[in-house]
Chains A and B, each alone.
Chain A
Amino acid sequence: MSNKEFIVAKDNDGKSILKFLIGELKPRGKFLTPFNIISFPVMIIGLFLIIIRFWKGLGAVSNVTQDIPWGLWKGFNVVTGVAFAGGAFVVTFMVYILNIHKYHSIVRITVLNGFLAYMFYAGALILDLGRPWHIINPLIGNSFGTSSVLFLIAWHFMLYMVAQLIEFSPAIAEWLGAKRMRKVLSGMTVATVIFGITLSTLHQSGLGALYLMAKDKIHPLWYSEFIPITFFVSSIFAGLSMVIFEGSISRRVFFNLISEDNYRSHDDIVIGLSKICSVTMFAYFFLQVLVFVHGQRWEYLNTPMGYWYLTEMLGFVLLPMLLFLFSYKNRNIGLVKVAAFITMIGIILNRLNVSIIGYRWDAAVRYIPSWMELIVTFAVIFTQIWIFRWVVNRLPVLRESPSWVNEQNN
């Protein structure tokens, strides 16, 4: 290498950046794991179905109807997926705004998870667009639909992905051994965190605000003018439950990457998160009760939809809230994980109840997703996990940063 500019990766044994990247692209570890055996065919079939979808139209793959135009790809991938990605703004809030350094070791993995979630769920949005070649229209000046909540969400998705990429970028710089770049990028962290939290507040609630105009179409037990607030509050514990869930899996899958210190501090973090979850879930439950009483909805309770509503509120909000509280008092890590899992199911139920199950619940033809929609949904999730795994195995996400980072900080 005659050109010194290219030799940036001194820590990587002085290899050129190109050789280094090619080396990193190679798969690592065993290929025939149970996860790979299940996920690989799903991804291949999913890709095939996506080609059919663009070739023959949305109706060839999806069961959405004229009355129920938003199906699984919007209701699950986008509306639910983004709630689960809320962990990033909560954790960065605690670490960089409240200065609670206990949670520092989970910032990177949470931000990475959030970034990939947004990337793939915004990607799922493109699959669902009938005329995706016009996706640039809301972003260029001549067609600003500023009265649309979806316009706000489109911009926020894009800006928040950039913010998360900047928040994560010091890890990329460390991986490439780019010392000066890391210094510049990590200097931007606090500003992007503040920007990112502001964006998250608005688009997490905005996903609920999307449904404000569908007042007569959503079952009255799930519709209220407070949807934006309930969506925002629930995104806090949805995101944290995802962090707990993902953390318990990462600990097993990537145990060789996690330093001993972080491995030990993990329990403390989980207990702390369970406390936050129980408090925000209490606020959420209280809010839902207020909405229910204020809206005088007693008459709907003794109906099938009413029982379904009670199942969601009691079984998937109140119960996990009490479990979080109990396990926080008793430092029961296993129970926290159970509570996180129930909470996640509760969030899926809640988002689907608003966007699909309770949406036009009175329609003549109900929407039930086709197997092809399900396959594509899982293909999107699996692809995200594959990329997540690739990054975690290579970049300093769970593992310690290279030694020169400490020198830089001091």
Chain B
Amino acid sequence: MQDVTNLTRTQLDALREVGNIGSGNAASALAQFLNRKIDMAVPSASILDFKAIPTIIGGPGTRVMGIFLKVMGEISGRFLLLIPEKTAIRLLHTLIPGCEINDPLKMTELESSCMREVGNILAGAFLNALSVLTQTPMLNSLPSMTFDMAGAMIDGVVADMTAVSDKVLMIETSFIESEEDLRIHIFLLPEPNSLVLLLKKIGVS
């Protein structure tokens, strides 16, 4: 098993490029879906202390929508979308004609299912690009969604990865819609036991 804390700068750069390619494809899928221009923030691949993850989106108590998918295949991992409350509401207003929701805690089944579909499209596009890049098929599970406090969403996703080390490898990127503040954070956490294969497939083993 590759220890994430021993990754070289070259390996991290290559993983960042993985994030770039995946999120580039996801951004164009979202742009098509919404029929708007979407800008992408510069992706980062970092070895993070797991406690730092909730601070990326405003602290452990921040209200946020989370969509979780498993990445399945020879290279496996976890895919987490964190969508700030404001963005989630705007997406729902854009996607569902006549939708007037202002509290995501009160989503209807139609609204939940619409957001899960957003997760499905983004993860599918991201992983498709990665499958091509690595020549290794990667599939996503059905999406699971919740709206709650950021800290609460993250602890269960990373817990078993942090049994020994406090560090997790995370490829992170976010989208910003050009005109308004529409922001989506994408986190890809490769399973530690498939990291060696991922690095080999991207030529930096």
A and B found bound together: no
Which A residues are within 8 Å of any B CB, using their own CB? none
Which B residues are within 8 Å of any A CB, using their own CB? none
